[in-house]
Amino acid sequence: VLNKAFDDVDILLLKDKDIWPDGKPTTDEERGEWLEKHKNGRMLKRKEIENYLFDYEIILKAYPNTNEEDYKEIIKDIDSEDVKKKGSMLLELVDDKQLENSGVGYRNRDLMR
């Protein structure tokens, strides 16, 4: 509608990779087909945008003492897992002292639950 009202406006669509209502994983082939059909569309390579936020490199910046092997025990496939459900497990990797020193604080800790 907006691109019809304004000639000089391009509307772009950004979607998570979880496009199926039943939660079925989207294959790379299905992602490619969707991108072919939707020229103004973009689709993340990971299941959900939260998968980028819970990336090991991001967690490590916030909590420098996080052990990568322990992280990988919780998050086995950052591209396709539902990482939101694992937020509390990730918090168990971070001790209270590390949390206090990070400047994140206890209030923001609850956001990851």
Task: Please state, in angstroms and rounded to a whole number, the distance separating the CA atoms of residues 53 and 36.
Answer: 27
pTM, to two decimals: 0.67
pLDDT (0 to 100) of residue 96:
47
Task: Please state, in angstroms and rounded to a whole number, the distance separating the CA atoms of residues 68 and 62.
Answer: 14
Average pLDDT, the chain: 83
> pLDDT tens digits, residue range 43-70?
999 999 999 999 999 999 988 888 899 9
> pLDDT tens digits, residue range 14-41?
999 998 888 888 999 999 999 999 999 9
Which residues make beta-bridge pairs with 13?
Answer: 41
* Residue pair 113/91 in contact by the 8 Å Cβ criterion: yes
